[in-house]
Structure 1
Amino acid sequence: MADDPFENMLAQMDRAEEYAEVDHGIFERLKHPERTLKVTLPVKLESGGVEVFEGYRCQFDSARGPFKGGVRYHPSVTQREVEALAGWMTWKAALVDLPYGGAKGGVICEPKELTDRDLERLTRRYTEGIRRMIGPETDVPAPDMNTNPQTMAWMMDTYSMYEGYTVPKVVTGKPLEIGGTPGRVEATGRGVSIITERLFEYLERDLTEATVAVQGFGNVGANAARLLDDAGARVVAASDVTGGAYDPEGLDVPTLATHVDAGGLMEEYTAGVVRGVSDDRTRWDEAGHIDNETLLSLDVDVLIPAAVEGVITAHNVDDIRASAVVEAANGPTTVAADEILTERDVQVVPDILANTGGVIVSYLEWVQNSQEFSWPLQTVNAELERRIGSAFDETIARYDDGDVPDLRTAAYTIALERTASAHEYRGLFP
């Protein structure tokens, strides 16, 4: 099951069914995506050769509104993964009460091996391949793993060329200059930080005395670490695919983030630290390299998996010593591991709640594009905090009722009930 994210999602749904007030017939419908498109993408590379890539776009459920979901570029992309991610997007949008259904897209590629020009051609080809599915009232893509505002700009431009006029709200996560919204890049990480703070308030614990480990120091993990560091938590470990940095006294998060923002790798940074070439020698003399598996097993107050799915499994869950897990990544914990963590009273804030900051601010960007009016950063951040805070409160209230075993099941019951209710009102066509 750990190797199949779609089966993992279905198992999470099954755990919640007995607690959710959902007609069984509708529940069975919710297990199946509405459609998945596979596209073949021949691209002429800057090197002169032609490479054929494979891409997908899954539209999972549209009962609550247009499809919404990111596009990822990664060698491990599969159809099953994209369908699982589209399902999780459906439950996220429902949980935070956005008028969206869930979707997801992906292209099998290694972005590090492609030039910027290659990536542009690949993006435009992929957009052309899925353009009959997407649209501002139909399906609105956004950035995900290894995609960014520039990727969205290329997608928007390609779609607009076919339409004959500029269509900003066909995608979200765009650069500010072409209809993006301030706060979107940091939104998912900010949401993770807000949820972590709210969790500590709920547990009546002091965040300024907490230690945090972050697996995955990309956009989401780095922004969550920055904000938690600003809030007074002690971030003791962070990692990327090359490994991690560890300092029990606390990492210099701003310095580390600056290194990564500049395109640096964690292994380069820790090697530099060990040789004493850090700007802050005193702080980093005792810091060193740590591998990703060891990071997961650190004795910390909060573990934030912010990389890929399926990293906490039945094989390593006994090594998890964190007292709380906040899922910044999609599907990082398998159902088998989840059950063991629940038995051990480890609070796991599920992905469909913890990482919803991105889709919330994407919605706010889409609304601004619809109104042709922009909001200041303070308004965007305040609305993000209000919406994700409300979803947290609703999830906690469902959990505190005592009927559900964990926060994930509580979140799923809310999301499933809202989506099922939309299906009930709309009926079954024809």
Structure 2
Amino acid sequence: MTIYNDDVFRMACAQFQVIADYLNIDKNHRDRLMYPKRAIAVTLPVHLDDGSTKTFQGYRVQHHLTLGPTKGGTRFAPSLSMGETAALAMWMSWKCALANLPYGGAKGGVAVDPSKLSRTELEALSRRYMQEMIPFVGPHTDIMGPDMGTNEQIMAWFMDTYSVYQGYAVSEIVTGKPVSIGGTEGRREATGRGVVYLIERAMNVLKIDPEKCTAIVQGFGNVGSVAALSLALKSGVKVVGISDAHAALYNPKGIDVKAAEQHILKKRHLRAFAQGDHVDPNQLLTMKCDVLIPAAVDRVITEKNAAKLQCRILAEAANGPTTPAADLILEQRWDEIFVIPDILCNAGGVIVSYFEWVQGLQSF
């Protein structure tokens, strides 16, 4: 595994080996499909507001180049490693192929907690990261986008930095940027909306009435909050559980997700939100509901809790939320739990990103 020696990458490889066995892929092609085409690691010295300088580690992995340029988000998270980045890039390849998009998978990011940086420091880090990536990315080579810990503003800084070095505006180098500089309406909500569209299709197949349906959403960030709001306000589903990195709440009578969203905008966490009982975040996953949406981090559905899930639909909105060992348990429960796998469930974001990229290429 060398530089990719990481639990998340090992999990992605284990998932791939299962499919490779099923498809009878030979060892040479397995290695080519499993290991990335290119991996870049950079050091990013940044001047902080107090006058000191701090160095951060940045990564970019381009997994597969056969189908076209690579495409993938940029994640700012304190635990980010080369191995995790490689796993996310691999999953991105499968996602793009499934959606029939002309992309290979990529992923990048910086090992940093963005909430601990001032706006000035965050801008300096974002611009420095793009400066280091310029030799390796481009509108026809590798297109960046937002991910955990990044947003429209960071994409705007990326685009501006790249454009300065090119001498003209290159809007198609990133997706997920503000509409005013070439972004696409609805891109921010695209992943969460895609999750809901698939849940609605699953409910239709299973003949579940949305008005009598309950849902639990783990993770109340960009994807989880959009999914929860859409389910509650448009589909008529009762959201009975929500969580973020700080707290988990459960209320069998239903939670006002609009109020939860407003609370987070003011307080930045759910810790003081009072519309339900505070429960253990791990316990929330196994509480009774019709739809369970893990929309936070990877590896939350494991061999320890897969047999305890009480949902009818498991919608994998996060990347890699279910471990291979848990997959085996869920396969045995196929008649109890309908699983929407992550490479399909959260593909809405990259599909809309493709439209934004084409829009930029055509200067439309």
TM-score (norm: length of structure 1): 0.81
Counterpart in the other structure of 2:171: 168
Counterpart in the other structure of 1:99: 102
Q: Describe the SS at the equivalent of 2:225.
A: helix
Query: Letter of the aligned partner of 1:156 in structure 2?
Result: M
Counterpart in the other structure of 1:293: 282
Residue 372 (structure 1) aligned with residue 358 (structure 2) = no
Counterpart in the other structure of 1:403: none
Q: Describe the SS at the equivalent of 2:271.
A: helix
Correspondences of 1:301-340 after superposition (within 5 Å): 301-340=290-329
More contact order relative to length (CA 8 Å, sep ≥ 6): 1
Residue 360 (structure 1) aligned with residue 351 (structure 2) = yes
Query: Letter of the aligned partner of 1:109 in structure 2?
Result: V
**Pair 268,47 (structure 1): closer, same or farther in 2 beyond 3 Å:** farther
Counterpart in the other structure of 2:3: none
Shift of 1:347: 2.0
Residue identity over aligned pairs, in percent, reads 49
Counterpart in the other structure of 2:214: 211
Distance 1:248 1:264 in 2: 24
Q: Describe the SS at the equivalent of 2:187.
A: coil
Correspondences of 1:346-357 after superposition (within 5 Å): 346-357=337-348
Shift of 1:320: 1.9
Residue 116 (structure 1) aligned with residue 119 (structure 2) = yes
Counterpart in the other structure of 1:57: 60
Counterpart in the other structure of 2:46: 43
Question: Which of 63, 77, 81 in structure 2 is aligned with 1:78?
Answer: 81
Distance 1:175 1:245 in 2: 33
Counterpart in the other structure of 2:203: 200
Over residues 46-80 of structure 1, what are the superposed CA-to-partner deviations in whole Å (9 max), with x where a residue is unaligned? 12111000010000001111000000101110110
Query: Letter of the aligned partner of 2:182 in structure 1?
Result: G
Shift of 1:194: 0.5
Distance 1:111 1:126 in 2: 14
Query: Letter of the aligned partner of 1:254 in structure 2?
Result: K
Over residues 172-225 of structure 1, what are the superposed CA-to-partner deviations in whole Å (9 max), with x where a residue is unaligned? 000011000000000000000011111111222222211110000000000011
Distance 2:123 2:320 in 1: 29
Shift of 1:17: 2.2
Counterpart in the other structure of 1:241: 245
Counterpart in the other structure of 1:183: 186
TM-score (norm: length of structure 2): 0.95
Counterpart in the other structure of 1:232: 236
Query: Letter of the aligned partner of 1:361 in structure 2?
Result: V
Distance 1:344 1:293 in 2: 20
Q: Describe the SS at the equivalent of 2:63.
A: strand
Distance 2:293 2:53 in 1: 40
**Pair 71,344 (structure 1): closer, same or farther in 2 beyond 3 Å:** same
**Pair 263,61 (structure 1): closer, same or farther in 2 beyond 3 Å:** farther
Shift of 1:261: 3.2
Over residues 240-267 of structure 1, what are the superposed CA-to-partner deviations in whole Å (9 max), with x where a residue is unaligned? 0111222101111111112223453111
Distance 2:266 2:187 in 1: 20
Shift of 1:303: 0.8
Shift of 1:349: 1.0
How many residues of Structure 1 are paired with residues of Structure 2 in the alignment?
A: 356
Structure 2: which 5+ runs fail to align? 1-5
Residue 128 (structure 1) aligned with residue 131 (structure 2) = yes
Distance 2:220 2:27 in 1: 41
Distance 1:86 1:5 in 2: 11
Shift of 1:104: 0.1
